[in-house]
Amino acid sequence: MTELKNDRFLRALLRQPVDRTPVWMMRQAGRYLPEYRATRAKAGDFLSLCKNAELACEVTLQPLERYPLDAAILFSDILTIPDALGLGLYFETGEGPRFRQTVRTAADVAALPELDSSVDLDYVMNAVSTIRGALNGRVPLIGFSGSPWTLATYMVEGGSSKDFREAKKLMYSQPEVMHQLLAKLASAVTDYLNCQIRAGAQAVQIFDTWGGALSSWAYGEFSLAYMKQIVDGLIREHEGRRIPVILFTKNGGQWLESMADTGADALGLDWTTDIGLARQRVGDRVALQGNMDPAMLYAPPGRIREEVADILARFGNGSGHVFNLGHGITPDVDPAHAGAFIEAVVELSSAYHV
């Protein structure tokens, strides 16, 4: 087992002392980097890039060569599980992900196969182990999955949606069918993340991208309950270390207390929640990750630095903060502006860890 040279990220997630606030970016390996675009062109298309362990490793490491980041995140997609279930994932230019088959009836749910991630998603595990080896202890590797609710929305809708009409129609008119689907997905996600941990992931994040589209009671019943099932079923110790778990519900700031009750180690925040108020609400029960508006990276570097300073001040002194954007970095951001953001965190945060 290679010794981890920089464990700042893992320590912060467990609210242990650190010398400065760790920082990484959601979608840090992505289209804003010219070197990523070159590797993707070499792969041919996005899915081919995800399924090639060497190229997935290459793009995962690219942002680490540019910036003093404290974590790497597996390069993959949240829709690998529905794809492995046989729904036929493909990407339409300008339209995002699409599925050739949808899941809208009890018969559709019953027809879904049981997933064995070590076999059905072996290309993801190959990527995890390849990346972990290439990192050689430089920084920790984050594994991830979409949440059951978020995966279900794509499976029912057949792709992206603005109003989740079909998913909500199924949820409200046939709740038992939606629960059957979510139960299958919770089992699949648990297995998927545990396989990633065994392959070398040192922390995992559950992306509940569309949980914020639900009402409060529906969020508790159809999203949070299944994320808690996953947290309960995850490997929490591996290679002699705690495996921290991060829950991130976009637009979920009103549910932080309930999210903290799941047993997760950290909660991701988007930019609509004040991180200082969030810290007051959850206390020392969980760490917090976030939460600068990704659009702030369009601002001049001086303004970006001011925003970083403000967020650090709002969180205040002590550990338990992982600095991140409130969602993924957008494709047309100037890489130099991303660099200004990361450098500001590195330079300004040590004052809060004296």
pLDDT tens readout for residues 306-322: 999 999 999 999 999 99
Residue 188 has pLDDT above 90, yes or no: yes
User: How many beta carbons lie within 10 A of that of residue 283, not counting itself?
Assistant: 10
Report which secondary-structure segment, H or E, holds 258. helix 256-260
- Collapse the DSSP code of 170 into the 3-class scheme (helix H, G, I; strand E, B; otherwise coil) and give the result: helix
Residue 94 has pLDDT above 80, yes or no: no
Give the angle 141-144-148 at the CA atoms, nearest 5°.
170
Q: Mean pLDDT over all residues of the chain?
A: 97
Residue 35 has pLDDT above 70, yes or no: yes
Active site residues: 27, 31, 40, 77, 154
Mean predicted confidence (pLDDT) in 27-50: 95
User: Position 289: which residue type?
Assistant: Q
Is there a contact between 84 and 122 (Cβ–Cβ < 8 Å)? no
- Collapse the DSSP code of 239 into the 3-class scheme (helix H, G, I; strand E, B; otherwise coil) and give the result: coil
Q: What is the pLDDT of residues 262-287, one digit of tens each?
A: 999 999 999 999 999 999 999 999 99
Residue 242 exposed, middle or buried by CB count within 10 Å (0-12, 13-18, 19+):
middle
Binding residues: 27-31, 77, 154, 209, 327
23-287, which class in CATH? alpha beta
Residue 1 has pLDDT above 70, yes or no: no
Is there a contact between 204 and 142 (Cβ–Cβ < 8 Å)? yes
Q: Where are the domains of the chain?
A: 23-287
Mean predicted confidence (pLDDT) in 212-224: 98
User: Position 157: which residue type?
Assistant: E
Binding residues for substrate: 27-31, 77, 154, 209, 327
Q: What is the pLDDT of residues 62-90, one digit of tens each?
A: 999 999 999 999 999 999 999 999 999 98
Confidence of residue 303 (pLDDT cuts 50, 70, 90): very high
Share of the chain above pLDDT 90, in %: 96
- Collapse the DSSP code of 325 into the 3-class scheme (helix H, G, I; strand E, B; otherwise coil) and give the result: strand
